[in-house]
Structure 1
Amino acid sequence: MSLALTNDERRIASGSDGAAMAMRIVAESAALLGAPRLIPIASAHIDGALYHGDSGTLFAERLVEGRAHVAVRSTLNVGALDLMGCSRVRLEEPQRSMARRMMEAYRKLGCEPSWTCAPYQAGHRPAFGADVAWGESNAVVFCNSVLGARTNRYGDFLDIACAISGRAPDYGLHRQENRLANLVFDVSALPRAFLASEIAWPVLGSLYGREVGDAIGVVTGVTQSPGEDALKAFGAAAASSGAVGLFHLSGVTPEAPDAKTALGGLDAETTIRVTPQMVASAQARLSTAEGTERIDAVAIGSPHLSLAEFDSLERLISGRRLSVPIHACTGRHVLTELDRNGRRKALEVLGVVVVADTCVVVTPILPDRTNGVLMTNSGKFAQYAPANTGYAVLYGSLADCVESAVLGRPVFARLSS
């Protein structure tokens, strides 16, 4: 099937400015993907502003030189620097300057300096059924699954090209027939108390992603919504352990009023019946440090912490000083609220290191340690930290992380799965 462009799209692509370059990137990507046409998008979330090398900076600056500007609302994912000055990033020159130039170039392109991996909790919530072009795996899965907007997993450079052209390839999860589930992930055998706990959803997400890969499933056996932060944690873990771009939760997410609807009225090709033993195994896999009696750092906030999650953190710390710092990653939208009431300073006095605009897994913030041990409650951090930071991981609940940080050694509550 050949790609058909409109007269206006062909006209723009034939130019020599930044908008033309963006349109050509989108059109050529669409042709490679077998899309029949381009579709207009309502917004974008840009993952390509995170510094991975000079080529990314030079690409963005070339778009700026070509007078390109985003055509739709475009928020920015985390960058490589904490521009708010909350935490010290150990990125050295010339990489530091190149990272700053990159972040500035995306601002000049008209992107909102949101610098968060959770734009959906910072006011960027596209309407149900809207076509958008979002990057960042957790944002993509939340956008598709919880909001019911439509996006594929847009990678670096293609994301900003879509934002500038206001177009995306018409393929994949933009199309209704590709959004139906073909498998059931049944958690009805798990205790209700476990499903209501904070630790359940990152663990279940990690198991889900590992089991389904890039397939679309519907989760059944949940009697009530676990809440937005739990859905955020589930999707992030599923997207990092697998390649999940969309999940359905029967009776909770907007395209799954029931399992039958999510499956398009067809029988499931596969049913995965989750057992407590499977959950225990999934949780154990999230820890890579063995037999340790120490922790060197605690990191939470992948995806970025919401204000409600900071409320929980404050309750659990309860005014106690930490023996090991907790690095709490969040966005400016939350930092503003924390600063308004003096809450950030109070947390910092106790030993919390607030990290804004970025996170500890994508840029060097954690102390440079040989054989370091990092504790986290994030399924996504647990998946990426060993390779990205060099730290081995201990996984636990937020309460486990706080108690361990206070005592300076690993402490775990019993998992009731």
Structure 2
Amino acid sequence: MLELTAREAAVAAGEAGQGAAMAMRIVAEAARLMGAPRLLPVASAHIDGALYHGDSGTLFAESLVAGGARTAVRATLNVGSLTPSGCAAVRLPPHQHEMARRMMRAYEAMGCEPSWTCAPYQAGHRPARGTDVAWGESNAVVFCNSVLGARTNRYGDFLDIACAISGRAPDYGLHRPENRRARLLLDISGLSVPLRRSDVFYPVLGTLLGRRAGSAIAVIQGLQGCTDEDRLKALGAAAASAGGVGLFHVAGVTPEAPDVATALGAEPPQETIIVSPQDIAATLASLSTIAGDRIDAVAIGSPHLSVAEVEALERLIGGRTLARPIYANTGRHVLAALPAGQRRALETRGVVFVADTCVVVTPILPEMAGAVLMTNSGKFAHYAPGNTGYAVVYGSLAECVESAVAGRVKREARAWH
């Protein structure tokens, strides 16, 4: 049975204002539903609820503002529905555009940082290992838990801001050390080393992990010396989209997995999956929804591109002009770090920067019959057909660039075997 402290009960009763009371009651009710015995103090939050899905979300945020609600902890903001001037144009109708604008401003009025990125961990928001936080946005959650070793559940829209205002979260799930132990062993050590060291592999592996693990926690064996933050970012994003993954371990890489035995809590795995080249080939094929060589656009940056990924894009394009646009989705912190000449050169060649949002969550891509989107993102491959109406072709970043230059799908030789 949930027990509130005297201070928590007082806030829920309205002592700190109606906005704070609403937030505390929401968190307390969520804790009751989850069977949590108490609330935990959290050090920070990442808010996914500021993306416009309807007027009710805007009115909810504005009611919190009217009640005097302010965030009690650091709170960064996930993508919204609008881009800043100078970036890609959003095709929202006037009423929806205005409600989306009001929603974004309401969250800022509550004290949330206007980061507007799905990769806050690359914008300076990196809670320490073992810290309890309340994060929304599935890729941010899985990165926070897995790569940083902080502790959060997958906090959905509106519960995330309630946690940020109250400074509390339900004490259950991945906040508890005993629930962070791996139950599943995913062994990829039989795959070729060149494949394991290629960027294009990680969204495929993440998709396989999400589909096989669901919400179970896995430890991956075989990535030592093969990966980096951007690759782990891609792996986690695909796993969280294809399944309910909130935490994975990589033996010898992630902070809670110095080795397989530690990640498993010195117990045998409930299931061991030996990943074969055939498994990878089947998963790779499933990320494309259409055959043929037509493409109408390329979209990269889900999760948002890092500075290193923008630099890789620039190297691959070189001095060439694109026959199809590449929509480069990234955070304002990355655009601010790019030299002005670098950004202008990329835009001149056909790159369309999308900041503060992405092409899959708000209407940016042109409407056209039978359109095809090429991407190197497992998350885009999962969501784009339903959200944009575009069919999807999956490929490496190099393939995406070569295809955009040629105006049709171009493939490169790979070490998929």
Structure 1 length-normalised TM: 0.98
1:296 alignment counterpart: 296
Alignment of 1:168-247 (within 5 A): 168-247=169-248
Q: What is the match of residue 354 of structure 1?
A: 353
Give, in angstroms, the shift of residue 222 of structure 1: 2.0
Deviations 1:82-131 (A, max 9, x none): 02431101111100000000000000000000000000000000000000
| Aligned AA (1:369) | M
In the alignment, which residue of structure 1 is the partner of 2:257?
Answer: 256
Give the counterpart letter for 1:237 in structure 2.
Answer: A
Which residue of structure 2 aligns with residue 312 of structure 1? 312
Taking the aligned partners of 2:372 and 2:243, their CA distance within structure 1 comes to 24
1:44 partner amino acid: A
After superposition, the C-alpha distances for 1:274-330 in whole angstroms (9 at most, x for unaligned) are 01111011110000012x221001000000000000111001001100000000000
What secondary structure, in the 3-state scheme, does the structure 1 residue paired with 2:156 have? coil
Offset of residue 163 of structure 1 = 0.1
In structure 1, how many angstroms separate the alpha carbons of the residues matched to 2:405 and 2:143? Answer: 33
Q: Give, as a single letter, the amino acid of the residue that structure 2 aligns with 1:404.
A: S
Number of residue-to-residue matches in the alignment: 414
Deviation for aligned residue 1:221: 1.6
CA deviation vs aligned residue, 1:375-413 (integer Å, no higher than 9, x gap): 000000000000000000000000000000000000111
Amino acid across the alignment from 1:64: V
Look up the SS of the partner of 2:373 in the other structure. strand
> Could you tell me whether the CA contact under 8 Å between 1:40 and 1:168 is conserved in 2?
yes
Whether the 8 Å contact between 2:78 and 2:116 is mirrored in structure 1 is: yes
Summarize the Cα distance change of 1:35–1:84 in structure 2 as closer, same or farther, 3 Å threshold: farther
Report the alpha carbon displacement of residue 225 of structure 1 after superposing the two structures with TM. 4.6
d(CA) in 1 for partners of 2:3, 2:369: 55
Q: Distance in 2 between matches of 1:124 and 1:222?
A: 25
Secondary structure of 2:21 counterpart: helix
Distance 1:232 1:132 in 2: 19
Letter in 1 for 2:241: S
Aligned 8 A contact 2:321 2:349 in 1 = yes
Kept after mapping to 1: 8 A contact 2:293/2:410: no
Displacement, 1:219? 0.1
Amino acid at match of 1:405: A
Computed over aligned residues only, the root mean square deviation of the Cα atoms, in angstroms, reads 0.8
Summarize deviations over 1:148-174 as a string: whole Å, max 9, x none: 000000000000000000000000000
Distance 2:315 2:276 in 1: 32
Separation in 2 of the partners of 1:209 and 1:357?
27
Residue type matched to 2:336 in 1?
T
Distance in 2, matches of 1:67 and 1:225, equals 49
Question: Given residue 312 of structure 1, which amino acid in structure 2 is its aligned partner?
Answer: A
C-alpha contact (below 8 Å) 2:4/2:39 kept by paired residues: yes
Shift of 1:371: 1.3
**3-state SS, counterpart of residue 117 of structure 1:** coil
Is the Cα contact below 8 Å between 1:132 and 1:151 reproduced in 2? yes
What 5-or-longer segments of structure 2 have no aligned partner? none
Q: Distance in 2 between matches of 1:304 and 1:3?
A: 38
8 Å contact from structure 2 (residues 360, 383) kept in 1: yes
Maintained 8 Å contact 2:237/2:379:
yes
- The residue correspondences of 1:160-175 to structure 2 (distance < 5 A) are 160-175=161-176
2:83 corresponds to: 82
Kindly provide the CA deviation profile for residues 210-252 of structure 1, in whole angstroms up to 9, marking residues without a partner as x: 1110000000022315000000000000000011000000000
Residues 18-417 of structure 1: matches in 2 within 5 Å?
A: 18-290=19-291, 292-338=292-338, 340-417=339-416
Aligned mates of 1:413, 1:204 — CA distance in 2: 19
SS of equivalent to 1:94: helix
| Distance in structure 2 (CA, Å) of the matches to 1:239 and 1:85 | 31
8 Å contact kept, 2:48–2:157: yes
Q: Percent identity?
A: 68
Any stretches of 5+ residues in structure 1 without a counterpart? none
Give 1:232's aligned amino acid: K
> What is the CA–CA distance in structure 2 between the aligned matches of 1:43 and 1:85, rounded to whole Å?
31
CA distance in 1, matches of 2:37, 2:224: 41
Contact 1:225 1:252 in 2 (8 A): no
For residues 293 and 183 of structure 2, the distance between their equivalents in structure 1, rounded to whole angstroms, comes to: 44
* Residue 341 (structure 1) shift: 4.0
Is residue 34–residue 172 contact of structure 2 (8 Å, CA) maintained in 1?
yes
Which amino acid in 2 is paired with 1:323?
A
Q: Secondary structure at the match of 1:342?
A: helix
Q: Distance in 1 between matches of 2:341 and 2:48?
A: 31
Q: Do 1:300 and 1:328's aligned partners in 2 also have CA atoms closer than 8 Å?
A: yes
**Matches of 2:286 and 2:377, distance apart in 1:** 13
1:349-376 C-alpha deviation (Å, 9 max, x unpaired):
0000000000000000000111110000
> 1 CA distance for matches of 2:256 and 2:118?
23
Contact kept in structure 2, 1:84 and 1:356, CA below 8 Å: no
Given that residues 84 and 357 in structure 1 are in contact (C-alpha distance below 8 angstroms), is that contact kept between their aligned partners in structure 2? no
For 1:176, the aligned partner's letter is P
Query: C-alpha separation between the residues in 2 aligned to 1:293 and 1:141?
Result: 34
Give the secondary structure class of the aligned counterpart of 1:416.
coil
Whole-Å Cα distance in 2 between the matches of residues 223 and 172 of structure 1?
28
Separation (CA, whole Å) in 2 of partners of 1:415 and 1:149: 36
Q: Which amino acid aligns with 1:207?
A: L
